[in-house]
A and B are shown apart, each in its own frame.
Chain A
Amino acid sequence: MKLAFYSLTSCEGCLTTLITKLGPDIEGLWNNFDIDYFKLVREPVGGSKFPKADIAFVEGAVVTNLDREHLLEIRKNSRFVVAIGTCASSGNIAYIASRNVKLGKKALSVLEVHEAEPLSSVIAVDFELNGCPVNADEFIDALLRLVNGLEPIQPDFSVCYQCKLAGNACLLDRGQLCLGPIAMGGCDAACTSVGSPCFGCRGPYVDADLKAYFRTLEKKGMKIEDAKPLLQMFMGKKIKEVLKE
Chain B
Amino acid sequence: MAKLSWHEILGLITELQKRGFDVVGPSSEGGVVKLLPLEENTKLETNYVRTLNSPKDFLLPNKERLFRYKSTATVTSYGLKIRFPTVEGPCPITIVPEYSPPRGRIAFFGIHPCMVNSIRYLDKVMLSDPADPYYKARREGLFIAVLECDEGDEYCFCKSVGCEKVPNGYADLSIKKEGDGFVVTPRSPTGSSLLMEEGVEQIEETIPKMKEEYLFDAKDEKSIDLKDPANLLEDCTICSSCTVVCPTCYCSDIQDRFSLMDPSNVERIRTRMSCQRKSYSSIAGGVTFLRTKNERFKWRMKHKFPFSERMYGISGCVGCGNCIAFCPSRIDFRTFLGRRVA
Across-interface contacts of B203 in A (CB, < 8 A):
none
**Is there a chain B Cβ closer than 8 Å to A156's Cβ?**
yes
How many Å from the CB of A232 to the closest CB on chain B? 19
B80 touches A161 (CB 8 A): no
Q: Which partner residue on chain B sits nearest A162 by CB separation?
A: B244
If the complex has contacts A29-B260, A144-B82, are A209 and B244 also in contact, measured as CB distance less than 8 A? no
Min CB distance, B242 to chain A, in Å? Answer: 9
Contact pattern, B 247-273, Cβ under 8 Å of A = 1, otherwise 0: 000000000001111110000000010
Residue A27 interfacial (CB < 8 Å): yes
CB-CB under 8 A for A156 and B235, given A1-B80, A165-B62, A169-B32:
no
Q: A156-B278, A169-B31 are in contact. Are A164 and B245 (CB under 8 A)?
A: yes
Q: Does B53 contact A (CB under 8 A)?
A: yes
Q: B52-94, CB under 8 A of A: which get 1 and which 0? A: 1100000000100000000000010011111010010000000
Q: How many residues of B contact A (CB 8 A)?
A: 43
Cβ of A224 < 8 Å from any Cβ of B? Answer: no
B53 contact set on A, CB distance < 8 A: 167
**Contact code string A6-39 (vs B, CB < 8 Å = 1, else 0):** 0000000000000000101101110011100000
One digit per residue, 1 when the CB lies within 8 angstroms of any chain A CB and 0 when it does not, for chain B 226-248 equals 00000001111111110011000
Q: Which residues of B contact A157 (CB under 8 A)?
A: 240, 274, 277
Residue of B29, B238, B261 near A207 (CB, 8 A) is B238
B34 touches A32 (CB 8 A): no
Q: Is the CB of A212 within 8 A of B79?
A: no
In the complex, the answer to whether A165 meets B272 with C-beta atoms within 8 Å is yes
- CB-CB under 8 A from A144, the residues of chain B are 80, 82, 258, 260, 263
In the complex the two chains form, what is the Cα distance from A216 to B238 in whole Å? 12
Would you call the interface of chain B mostly helix, strand, loop, or mixed?
loop
Cβ contact within 8 Å between B236 and A148: no
Contact present for B80 and A181 (CB under 8 Å): no
A23 and chain B: residue at smallest CB distance: B261
Closest to A24 in B: B261
Closest partner residue, chain A, to B279 (CB atom)? A156
CB-CB < 8 A to A28: which residues of B?
259-263
Q: How far is the CA of A208 from the CA of B293 in the complex (A)?
A: 11
Q: Which residue of B lies closest to A158 (CB)?
A: B239
A 204-218 binary contact with B (CB < 8 Å = 1; else 0):
001111011101100
Given contacts A148-B87, A219-B329, whether A212 and B236 have CB atoms under 8 Å apart is yes
Q: Which of B234, B245, B330 contacts A212 (CB 8 A)?
A: B234
- Hey, which chain A residues are within 8 Å of B52, CB to CB? 164, 167, 169
**How long is the Cα–Cα vector from A32 to B52 in the complex, in angstroms?**
44
Q: Is the CB of A132 closer than 8 A to any CB of chain B?
A: no
Please, which residue of chain A has its CB at the minimum distance from the CB of B240? A161
A216 contact from B84, B237, B261, Cβ within 8 A:
B237
Complex contact B260–A209 (CB within 8 A) = no
| Contact A32 to B244, CB < 8 A, known contacts A180-B328, A212-B235 | no
The distance in angstroms between the C-alpha atoms of A143 and B330, with both chains bound, is: 39
CB distance from A152 to the nearest CB of B (A): 13
| Cβ contacts under 8 Å, A149 to chain B | 87
Q: Is the Cβ of B261 less than 8 Å from the Cβ of A172?
A: no
**Could you list 12 further interchain pairs (A-B, Cβ under 8 angstroms) beyond the known A148-B82, A168-B30, A168-B32?**
A28-B261, A32-B75, A144-B260, A144-B263, A147-B80, A150-B87, A160-B328, A169-B30, A169-B52, A206-B278, A209-B238, A216-B235
List 4 tightest A-B contacts by C-beta distance, closest first: A1-B79, A28-B260, A160-B239, A181-B237
Please list the residues of chain A having a beta carbon within 8 angstroms of any beta carbon in chain B. Answer: 1-2, 22, 24-25, 27-29, 32-34, 54, 140, 143-144, 147-150, 156-158, 160-161, 163-165, 167-170, 172, 174, 180-182, 195, 206-209, 211-213, 215-216, 219
Q: B residues bordering A, Cβ < 8 Å? A: 29-32, 34, 52-53, 62, 75, 78-82, 84, 87, 233-241, 244-245, 258-263, 272, 274, 277-279, 293, 326, 328-330
